[in-house]
Each structure stands twice: as structure tokens, then as C-alpha cells.
Amino acid sequence: MLIETKGLSKFYKHKDGIVEAIKDINLGFNQGDFVTITGPSGSGKTTLLLLLAGLLRPTAGSIKFQKHELHSASDNVLAGIRSKHIGFVMQNFSLIPYLSVLNNVLIPLSLNQNGERTKSDYAIHLLETVGLKDRMNHLPKELSAGQQQRVAIARALVNKPNLILADEPTGNLDPALSIEILEVLKRINIENQITIAMVTHSPTASKYGNIRIHIDKGSIVN
């Protein structure tokens, strides 16, 4: 089991009382699963994703990632887990406009025993995987929206993560580009056995998951 949650809950205090963003979530998925998370706006989808990333602390319950208990881990341990094991793909791409495509992909890499050439070679390989090797010296503004999202996917893969967390990765794309990005994610999921947990409003996107979770009012309803 790559990730397992038990009784996972996240509550917020509000002037009108307690807001139950996530309530008693029990789920688990393995290496190589493609998990899609759907639900209406405000249902708790993104909160769940942030909890799985260790970016939010739960009010109650537990989150286990491999051997790590995320709910009780220190901030330093959580940061280390994210940098080594988790990649992120967001709706707005979050590319740095004055850096080349290649340098955007290289951003997550910290100094380690590998040389800079080794890092660059792997980043170029990832750009080839997503069909953008010929654009590696371009700036983000010189790319289409779909190409920018493919750069973001390559960046999410550069640390060789076990898990990719994707929050509405096709939300800013037209239907044709959305399918293009979903196919890239699915290919990476199958070929590399990387687990993907993806929040989406799209019925089409949700069909890409072998595990499909629907959340409403903070609870899993299917």
C-alpha cells in the first residue's frame, strides 16, 4: 500500500461554527494506481489532496505514506518526503516565465551526488517523453497551453517520484488539449508505475482512473 488513510478529517473554525472540510475519509491505493477524485466545488477535493501531500495537518485520523506517518511527522520530514517522493501538477502550470523549458524542469532538483550533466540528461529525457525535447531552450511564453502543462508534468517527474498529485491539470485547457494531457499522464502511469491522484471536475478525465472517488460535503459517497 502506497497511501492509506483512516478516519481522516479536517475541520476549520468559522464565525458561524465548525466547517467540516473532510470527514472520516478511509482510503488506500497502491503503486501504479490512477486515482481520480471528483465532486462539486467546495466538496473537499483539494483539501484531501493537500492532506495527502502533507501540506495540511489533519484535525483527526491518520495518513500513512509508505512507512511514514504523515499526520505526526515533523515539517522537515514532510518536506523531505515531498522533495523525494511526490510530484505536483497544478491547473495554472506555475512555470517561471524567464527560465527556459529545460531550466523549469530542473527546478525541483536539489544538489546531490549526481553531477549537473546527469540531471540535465534526465530532464531532457523527460522532455522527450512528453514530446518537447525540441522546445527545451524556449521560454514558457513561446509555448501553447498544452505544451506548458506538459513541461509541468516533466517537472513533476524529475525527482523520480512514487506519487503525482494533480489538481485540475486540464482545467485551463480546451477539450482536445485536455485529452492530450490525460493521455500523457496515463502513459506515464502505466509505463513507470507512478501512482497518480488527480482532482477533476471533468467526467471525461475521471474515466482515466482505475480508482474513482466522488466526494460531497467532505465525505466519500461512492
For residue 31, the domain's CATH number is 3.40.50.300
- Number of domains comprising the chain: 1
Place of cell 479536517: 10
Residue 195: CB atoms within 10 Å: 22
**Domain assignment present for 157:** no
Q: What angle do CA 89, 33, 55 make, to 5 degrees?
A: 45
Residues 6+ apart with CB under 8 A from 6: 26, 61, 62
**Domain assignment present for 108:** no
**Domain assignment present for 91:** yes
From the centroid of its chain, how far is CA 2?
14
Position 116 scores a pLDDT of 60
Position 113 scores a pLDDT of 47
The phi and psi torsions of 25 (rounded to 5 degrees) equal -90, 125
What range does the domain containing 68 cover? 3-96+162-220
CA distance 157 to 163: 9
**Domain assignment present for 213:** yes
**What is the chain's pLDDT, residue by residue, as a tens digit (222 residues)?**
999 999 999 999 888 888 899 999 999 999 999 999 999 999 999 999 999 999 999 999 999 999 999 999 999 999 999 989 999 998 888 899 999 999 999 998 854 445 565 678 899 999 998 999 999 999 999 999 999 999 999 999 999 999 999 999 988 888 998 999 999 999 999 999 999 999 999 999 999 999 999 999 999 997
Which amino acid type is present at position 44?
G
From the centroid of its chain, how far is CA 46?
11
First to last CA, the chain: 20
**Domain assignment present for 24:** yes
